[in-house]
Each structure stands twice: as structure tokens, then as C-alpha cells.
Amino acid sequence: MSIGQDAFVIAVNKSHGPGRRRFSVAHELGHAVLRHTASYYLEYAVEDHWEPPNYSYFDEREANAFAAALLMDEWWVREDFAAACET
């Protein structure tokens, strides 16, 4: 299958823990759902550069928020919020 404008591939590092892998998939899904313009997103680490090519701080923050909202259990959030309000 070729990867075109409306096709996406998400891969995760199998050496990462299950929670990290779940968040990574949700984060990358966020890029696709939110229609971010970069043609690819990679976990990128090069010592000489502080950010990858085509990096968008806004896109990354938005994808993180999408992943957190997708994965977060609403009941736990409400319970924690209520507990914090009691103190």
C-alpha cells in the first residue's frame, strides 16, 4: 500500500513501556485527526539540533492535548478534581 495524503502509518518502539506506546499512538493519531501539515512526524533525537525538521511547537502541543484527552479517564479526573476542591 502506498502512503498518500489520506493514509497514515503509526509505528512505536517496542522497547518502550505500554503506557508510553499508547500515548505515542494517540499523539500520532492526533496529528492525523487534526490534519497537521507536516508530511511526517518522527521521534527525533540528534545532539547537534534542538528540534527536528518541520517542527511545529503548536502542532506538538495540540497532539499532546489530543492524546491526553483521548486516554484520560473522565471519572478519575472528576474524582481528583473533587478531592482537590475539598482541601
pLDDT digits (tens, 9 = 90+) for 34-87: 988 765 555 555 556 566 667 788 999 999 999 999 998 888 888 888 888 987
Sorted by sequence, the CB contacts under 8 Å of residue 26 that are 6+ apart come out as 66, 67, 70, 71
Give the burial class of 31: count Cβ atoms within 10 A of its Cβ; 0-12 exposed, 13-18 middle, 19 or more buried: buried
Instruction: Decide if 63 contacts 23 (C-beta within 8 A).
Output: no
Q: Is residue 10 part of a domain?
A: no
| Domain extent at residue 51 | 18-86
Q: Is residue 35 part of a domain?
A: yes
Q: Is residue 62 part of a domain?
A: yes
State how many domains the chain has: 1
* pLDDT reported for residue 73: 85
Q: Is residue 25 part of a domain?
A: yes
Q: Is residue 9 part of a domain?
A: no
Instruction: Decide if 49 contacts 57 (C-beta within 8 A).
Output: no
Q: Is residue 32 part of a domain?
A: yes
Instruction: Decide if 7 contacts 1 (C-beta within 8 A).
Output: yes
